[in-house]
Amino acid sequence: MTTSADLAHVREVAAADQSAAATWWSRLSARQQGLLAALLIVVLCALVVPPFLFLLQSSLTIAGPTPIQSEWGRLDNFDTVLRSRHFFDWSLIEFHWPLFATRPFELWLPTGTAINSLVFAAASAALALVIGWVAAWIVERTNAPLKGLAYVTAIISLGTPYILYVTAWLLFFGKAGPINQFYRFVTDAPRDVVLINIYSMPGMILVEGFLWSPLAFLLVGATLRNANPELEEAARVHGAGVWDTIRRVTMRLSLPSILALSMLVFIRAIEAFEVPALVGLPGRISVLTTDIYSNMVARAPPDVGGASALSVLMLLLVLVLLYVYGRLSRHAEKFATITGKGFRPRPFDLGPLRHVAAGLLVLNFVLLLLVPMLMLVWVSLLPFFQPVSLSAFKLISLHNYETVLASGQLELLINTLVVAVATATIAVALTFLGAWLAVRRAPGGWIIERLSTIPLVFPGLILGIAVMQVFLRLPIPLYGTLGILIWAFVINYLPYGMRYCSSGMLQIHRELEEAAAICGASPLTRLRRVVAPLLAPALVAGWLFIFLMATRVLSLAILLAGPRSQTMAVAMFDLWGNGQGTELAALGLMWSMLMGLIAVVFYTVARRSSAGALGRA
């Protein structure tokens, strides 16, 4: 029989247990940030560190008949690369300038893949910056009409694979393209004479500059849109003309952003693969990325050591360039013009010249968007490529579209969407947690931030080789599957996710989390109930951006995709290499329509996210 003493003892034991559980839970809640940071550091280290270590090991290994006979710790691969005349050499170049000299003259100049890469990157960055800055200035600083054309061009380009743009311009500027065909018709020149040799260094620069000009427009446009125009207006009040104001005020105020953007485009052009592979290789012009690709694909067995040594050298080059980019961006606050005082920009009144400015926007739209799309539409309706003519109109049909839809391309669509959705979801989830810990300066937050930005130094092709090395040496059967693509893509897009999430986190004041903590909310509860809803627009914008980038990247997937794990970009590259340009055009147009709609959604969400952030600020 239970007595009152027994009941009192039971209540004391239950109270003690409840007190111990509460104490344990409070200690766990207090350590949630530290435990989460430790777990995230382990995950990021597992993603980021092994590719670099295995790539470095391969560059220092001399392959033998068997893995046991391979020699490690030697610099022979680097010595072979650096001593190769293909990498760097001096050549005697002959110049023909009949207008300035009666006979050609010769000049010794540096040549090789290293010089080709630098020239290609510098010139294409300059071209992209000129096109983007002019378009951005017209849109953001003048009263020219038709400004929407510039945004349409930039937004649709976000959803179009680079390889599709490159093939379209190859067809347009090619030997049988409309430009050279019209030139031969006007000048009555032979069929082998061309006005524009697209398979040359100038052709590579032209196409790469066109590819990057929409991004330059968006980034420069943001700078000009947010700059205080009072200094420009003061210059105009004192009698300065439009050109003097641009040269002495606008250009100088935007100099840091221009230099940083030029360095960014230069880095991306150094890493480029589509243009060098599709334009440079047929013209016998090699750059670093195509040399690395050739070492892995064109040789039997693949020269893994040489490719790894080239990759490490390229990593060092990109690391130096990123350091310069960081230095340029760090001192941008010296040129700040926005203060607490509100402002409303007054656009330049160009007078009659506003129609000239509108004409430049129309030309930008035609060259960067309309011409490639019309060229692809024309090619997709023909059984084989041929110049525009009346006789060719008789061959127009939808056969290529029927072939694409009936040839099992659904698997490509599913593969690409699975990789893009998984990459965007995992990358945003990791960087959401990482940005929260880094911005709130939790223990280990600075380590998380550094680990998340390390992949910036990896060009896509080099990261593909590094990840391939990891899974060829570890007993994990992911090589040739969608899993290895997702793994590599997540690593590649961690810095972009971190940028979006960190920017959003900086807009959320910590006092909201402190109020929730006073009410008893644990760190994870605050993250879930307070931070996540406020950060949702930035998370969605970052997710859509990574999704769009993952659907069109080629360099990262070209060496990792297997027969059953090809993405849309890899399939388009193979179609072009197999001479199936008409089917490539049909497949690319259908894919671009879908991605263009998603790009419009991304741009809308990003603009609303920016507006909401400004409203909260």
Q: What is the pLDDT of residue 516?
A: 77
Q: Are 217 and 154 in contact (CB under 8 A)?
A: yes
Our count of domains for the chain comes to 2
Q: What is the pLDDT of residue 426?
A: 95
- CA-nearest of 229, 270, 221 to 249 is 229
Do 369 and 496 share a structural domain? no
Q: Are 37 and 444 in contact (CB under 8 A)?
A: yes
> What tokens appear for 543 in the block?
């997710």
In a domain, 30, yes or no: no
Domain coverage including residue 285: 84-93+110-397
Low-confidence ranges of the chain (pLDDT < 50): 7, 9-10, 13-14, 16-17, 20-22, 24-26, 28, 98-102, 332-343, 611-617
The vertex-590 CA angle with 586 and 596, nearest 5°, equals 135
State pLDDT tens for residues 345-403.
567 777 888 899 999 999 999 988 899 999 999 999 988 888 777 888 888 888 888 88
- Mark which of 375, 397, 419 sits at the end of a domain: 397
Q: Are 80 and 306 in contact (CB under 8 A)?
A: yes
In a domain, 532, yes or no: yes
**DSSP character at residue 67:** G
Do 460 and 357 share a structural domain? no
Residue 154: left (phi > 0), alpha (psi -120 to 50), or beta? alpha
Do 259 and 323 share a structural domain? yes
In a domain, 555, yes or no: yes
State pLDDT tens for residues 431-484.
999 888 888 888 888 888 888 888 887 888 888 888 988 888 888 888 888 999
Cut 0.85: pTM above it: no
> What tokens appear for 260 in the block?
């940083």
Q: What is the pLDDT of residue 341?
A: 46
What residue type is assigned to position 138 of the chain?
A: I
Do 568 and 479 share a structural domain? yes
CA distance 154 to 149: 9
Dihedral pair phi/psi, residue 284, rounded to 5°: 60, 40
Do 348 and 425 share a structural domain? no
Do 408 and 339 share a structural domain? no
Question: What CATH number is attached to the domain comprising 232?
Answer: 1.10.3720.10
Strand 89-95 versus strand 105-111 pairing type: antiparallel
Do 524 and 485 share a structural domain? yes
> What tokens appear for 278 in the block?
């599709």
Do 301 and 436 share a structural domain? no
In a domain, 392, yes or no: yes
Do 285 and 219 share a structural domain? yes
- CA-nearest of 604, 589, 603, 605 to 161 is 589
How far is CA 224 from its chain centroid?
Answer: 22
Dihedral pair phi/psi, residue 108, rounded to 5°: -80, 125
Q: Are 269 and 120 in contact (CB under 8 A)?
A: yes
- CA-nearest of 185, 183, 178, 206 to 194 is 183
Q: Which residue has the tokens 């760190």?
A: 523
State pLDDT tens for residues 228-268.
566 666 766 666 666 677 666 666 766 766 777 777 788 88
**Gyration radius from the chain CA atoms:** 28
In a domain, 22, yes or no: no
In a domain, 372, yes or no: yes
CA distance 525 to 508: 16
Dihedral pair phi/psi, residue 98, rounded to 5°: -65, -25
- Mark which of 346, 367, 397 sits at the end of a domain: 397
In a domain, 281, yes or no: yes
CA distance 116 to 616: 48
Q: What is the pLDDT of residue 615?
A: 40
Give per-residue burial for 247-275: e unless 16+ CB within 10 Å, then b: eebbeebbebbbbbbbbbbbbbbbbbbbb
Dihedral pair phi/psi, residue 4, rounded to 5°: -65, -30
In a domain, 445, yes or no: yes
Q: Which residue has the tokens 């986190």?
A: 505
CA distance 496 to 576: 30
Do 381 and 525 share a structural domain? no
CA distance 377 to 206: 22
Do 234 and 145 share a structural domain? yes
CA distance 435 to 506: 9
Q: What is the pLDDT of residue 21?
A: 46
Do 247 and 140 share a structural domain? yes
Q: What is the pLDDT of residue 43?
A: 92
- Mark which of 363, 382, 397 sits at the end of a domain: 397
Helix-strand-coil percent breakdown of the chain, rounded to 5? 70, 5, 25
